[in-house]
Structure 1
Amino acid sequence: MPDLDITPQTGRGRDAGGRGGMARIASGRLYRDMWLSPNRPFFALSALWAVIAILVWHVGLRLGLPVPSLGTTTLWHAHEMTVGVGGAAMAAYFLTVMPSWTGARRVTGWPLIGLVALWALARLAALLAETLPLPLVLAPGLAFYALFTGLYLRAIVSQRRWDRWAVPAVIAFLGLADAAFVATALGALPWPGEAEMTRVLVLFFATKVSVIAGNMAPAFTAGWLAPRGGPLPRIDPLASRIGLALMLLAFPLTLAGPTEAAAAVLIAAGAAQLWRIRRWKSLAAARYAPALMLHLAFAWLPLGLVLTGLAALLPTPWREADAIHALMMGAMAGLAMSIASRAAARREGGALRIGPVLGGAFALIWAAAGLRLAAPLMPATYEPLLDAAAAVWCAGWGMFLVAYVPGLRGPVANPVFNVGGHGHGKGPAIVPLAAIAPAHAPTRGDACTQGACGGGGHGHGRGGGCGGGCGCGGHGHGSDSGRGAARGPGLVLPKV
């Protein structure tokens, strides 16, 4: 992208400019620094849209104001809180970890600006969906996911990382599901129905929580506990595979199978996800906020899956529309804020420090999900509890933005989502994956969660590379690309 002229004026021009000139310089630097890493604009936009979309929809309905419609106002709300908020958070994370997952350079500058512009146009198209021709409503979203997918495909091909083919496939799937949802909502597709497509989008983001949070929570907990001694988290590969397989099975059953079968699979998936947590040392994570946030976000996943399944089978207080808020407000939004907070956290003493504002923001989001789930239990105060949930939700994301926006300026921390950097010497592994899954062979840096690497151990760690510093075992080297050999009795997480 072109350089910005932020050189201060001199002489009379400087005096005339005064504080206005300094403000222009500051805004110019903010604009320049914004595009240095994908997490910066996309996490900020995800949080901002989480507030705006709720205010437009919930407050609009309460005050009798015009509310956007995508077939219905409820479908617009469902679409924007999944594809709008969740899609931006997914772009923030997936694109930021691209160097670790593929070895390619991070997306910056004009390609990143183009992606952000397409995301914003997709939000505008959804706002005007009832007044625009269907192709114009679909085009920005399809273009956003096409470019998103294309950037990952280019990275995979250029680095010959064929083992990462699933990442662009997942991105493309969300793009097609987005288009199908919009076309169905506007009556252009007779099948599947609006309810089925809503379930598909919710299931997609719930599955993403299962994979990403299910890897990050035990890994970062191990990283916190290892230097302090004591037992470390362990994962149950069988429970992880069963939980993921059941969630994937729910997709075709949701679209084509009996409702009862899909509901039963969701309940079983929730039980499997709950079983996964038992050895994660969640209580020990309570002493370290960045790890605790991941555990608390994941906790909504089994609850949401079970409640959603039960709502379709039994006369529970929760309708399906109520139950899925545990998955979206609790699990999806909780994971997004957990990861984004890691990028905004202070780095002190080899650990991330979540300040009171970020911690309070997460607590409010968690409380908002709780209020939304509590509302059906108290019919007499149902509407006030919905209002409270919306207000607490907006306050939480507003607090997050207060803490996050200052981090949009300055150099990008490397790694973005954890402590690290370039260093030598002995020291505890930042993420001692040796406690998590067996492997007695050289392993690539990408086997670890991005950002969970860096200095430490015996060897070198830099950026997202995994070596001794990642705890993948013994002596090793890591690089920014995430490709590094590590030896020893290291244990690696399943690949994300």
Structure 2
Amino acid sequence: MAVLLPSGQIAEPSEQARGWPFMRLAFRPLFWLGALFAMLSIPLWALTYTGNLTFTPFGSSHFWHIHEMLFGFAVAIITGFLLTAVQNWSGVPSVKGKPLFALVLIWLSARLLMAFPHLAPNWVIMTLDLAYLPLAAFFLAIPIIKAALWRNLFFIPILLAMSGLNALMYTALYGHLAINFLDISHVMVMMITLVMVIMGGRVFPMFTANGTHTQRVANIPWLDKASIISVLLCVALTLIGDRVAQQFTGSLFLIAGVLNFIRALRWRIWVTFGTALVWPLHASYWALCCGLVLMGAYHFGWLTSISTPIHAITVGGMGLMILAMISRVSLGHTGRMIKASKPMSFAFLLMVVTLLVRLLASLTDTHYSSLILLSAALWAISYALFVIGYGKIVFSARIDGRDG
């Protein structure tokens, strides 16, 4: 039986809402729980790191902080986005209902046990954590293959490569590799950068045109390919490590940064300043570009600490881009007007300040602990504004009555 929607359109039976709203599409649980985890985990780590709290998670607080922000938080958002977007790309229903609940339960169980490892044997914790990405890749592959959407098939090996890096993190933790887990985490940072560069090029020009009511900037195919390939080569060189001359690695990072700067400049950040759900996407991409350039400077020996470029990418690029993307996608996929609320507009500004404070901490020894605590507090407030403001949205049915 068809249903009359608030817009006056008719929703066919296949489009009508069914089941628990929170499990109707992957963005709902994975965005909201991922943001909740980000809100809680960063201040927990900062308090532990500065000696204000005793916390003994899996592998050490240092390992836990690095691992969980990459393979817990970022992975949840990436897979939540892909498992939601693939339904639009392919026209084939994506994972939902009980299978989605099982996938989310695996992710959530791994996060809880990583924080409280005394609750289960180490092999159980690692098995649960390592199971998530291959299972997410499996669910992503189903609609892609059914629709013969070969253009997007490359996301499967990306997710599987991330899963391999996760396994290497554990292997390095137990001393079975010649490199340490910190080096492997840098490869994962670059893998996530690669995903951001790919998806940024696909959606940012469209989001800019739609949000600002301006003409869409046409892509330049060679520039897009060069921007992506240069970052892919940065991933490879980060994996190889010191076996390649640092000047060569530094040059490639500088090239990747400049190419992506040119790309970002063409997207016209200046037309977005009045649109709160668009300018943070541009700002995050600029932060990512700065991180690539700073990484080049580090490899040339112009920077003494790799913390500066890493946090430019992870806090400014990843943190701000994720916050803006989950805010926008959650509105669009629940049938709501794509417009930022005042609290979320404030949250985006706070994330910019978070980046500046965190970079200042890595560049100075003065008041280091205080700056770390301040940046963690600002981060937590930013994500708390999403968790609180979007709780009703992700737990409620679409306002247009459709499924999803």
Q: 1:159 to 1:409 in 2, by over 3 A?
A: same
The alignment covers a number of residue pairs equal to 383
Residue 252 (structure 1) shift: 2.4
Q: Is 2:205–2:267's contact at 8 Å kept on the other side of the alignment? A: yes
Paired position in structure 2 for 1:237: 221
What amino acid sits opposite 1:403 in the alignment? G
CA–CA distance in structure 1, aligned partners of residues 400 and 357 of structure 2: 37
More helix by share: 2
Q: Is 1:274–1:302's contact at 8 Å kept on the other side of the alignment? A: yes
Paired position in structure 1 for 2:360: 374
Paired position in structure 2 for 1:392: 378
Paired position in structure 2 for 1:401: 387
Query: Which of residues 61, 83, 88 in structure 1 aligns to 2:76?
Result: 88
Query: Which of residues 298, 310, 316 in structure 2 aligns to 1:324?
Result: 310
Paired position in structure 1 for 2:3: none
Q: Secondary structure at the match of 1:380?
A: coil
Paired position in structure 2 for 1:224: 211
Paired position in structure 2 for 1:283: 270
CA–CA distance in structure 2, aligned partners of residues 329 and 244 of structure 1: 21
Q: How does 1:458-469 map to 2 (within 5 A)?
A: none
Query: Which of residues 264, 282, 286 in structure 2 aligns to 1:299?
Result: 286
The question of 1:335 aligning with 2:321 is answered: yes
Paired position in structure 1 for 2:94: 106
Paired position in structure 2 for 1:202: 189
Residue 351 (structure 1) shift: 5.7
Identity within the alignment, %? 23
Once the two structures are superposed, what CA deviation does each residue of 1:98-147 show, in whole Å capped at 9, x if it has no partner?
21223210321111111111101221343355896553232112221121
Q: Is 1:345–1:354's contact at 8 Å kept on the other side of the alignment? A: no
Residue 191 (structure 1) shift: 3.8
CA–CA distance in structure 2, aligned partners of residues 39 and 413 of structure 1: 16
Q: Is 2:27–2:330's contact at 8 Å kept on the other side of the alignment? A: no
Q: 1:237 to 1:68 in 2, by over 3 A?
A: farther
Paired position in structure 1 for 2:144: 156
- The alignment's TM-score, normalised by the length of structure 1, stands at 0.71
Q: Secondary structure at the match of 2:277?
A: helix
Q: Is 1:61–1:67's contact at 8 Å kept on the other side of the alignment? A: no
Q: Secondary structure at the match of 1:88?
A: helix
Q: Secondary structure at the match of 2:24?
A: coil
What amino acid sits opposite 2:371 in the alignment? L
What amino acid sits opposite 1:245 in the alignment? I
Which range is displaced more, 62-71 or 332-341? 62-71
Query: Which of residues 143, 147, 155 in structure 1 aligns to 2:135?
Result: 147
Residue 77 (structure 1) shift: 0.8
Paired position in structure 1 for 2:4: none
Q: 1:126 to 1:186 in 2, by over 3 A?
A: farther
Q: Secondary structure at the match of 2:338?
A: strand
Q: 1:381 to 1:61 in 2, by over 3 A?
A: closer
What amino acid sits opposite 1:367 in the alignment? V
Q: 1:181 to 1:129 in 2, by over 3 A?
A: farther
Q: How does 1:263-274 map to 2 (within 5 A)?
A: 263-274=250-261
Q: Is 2:42–2:376's contact at 8 Å kept on the other side of the alignment? A: yes
Paired position in structure 2 for 1:358: 344
Q: Is 1:70–1:182's contact at 8 Å kept on the other side of the alignment? A: no
What amino acid sits opposite 1:361 in the alignment? A
What amino acid sits opposite 1:79 in the alignment? H
CA–CA distance in structure 1, aligned partners of residues 361 and 131 of structure 2: 39
The question of 1:56 aligning with 2:44 is answered: yes
CA–CA distance in structure 2, aligned partners of residues 240 and 323 of structure 1: 23
CA–CA distance in structure 2, aligned partners of residues 162 and 236 of structure 1: 22
What amino acid sits opposite 2:256 in the alignment? A
Gaps of 5+ in 2: 1-18
What amino acid sits opposite 1:357 in the alignment? P
Query: Which of residues 166, 174, 182 in structure 1 aligns to 2:162?
Result: 174
Residue 323 (structure 1) shift: 2.1
- The alignment's TM-score, normalised by the length of structure 2, stands at 0.87
Paired position in structure 2 for 1:43: 31
CA–CA distance in structure 1, aligned partners of residues 389 and 121 of structure 2: 40
CA–CA distance in structure 2, aligned partners of residues 133 and 192 of structure 1: 25
Residue 383 (structure 1) shift: 2.3
What amino acid sits opposite 1:233 in the alignment? V
Q: Secondary structure at the match of 2:156?
A: helix
Once the two structures are superposed, what CA deviation does each residue of 1:162-203 show, in whole Å capped at 9, x if it has no partner?
33321222211111211211221232x314432320111110
CA–CA distance in structure 1, aligned partners of residues 398 and 112 of structure 2: 30
Q: 1:193 to 1:65 in 2, by over 3 A?
A: same
Paired position in structure 2 for 1:454: none
Paired position in structure 2 for 1:6: none
Q: 1:253 to 1:34 in 2, by over 3 A?
A: same
What amino acid sits opposite 1:143 in the alignment? A
Q: 1:38 to 1:208 in 2, by over 3 A?
A: same
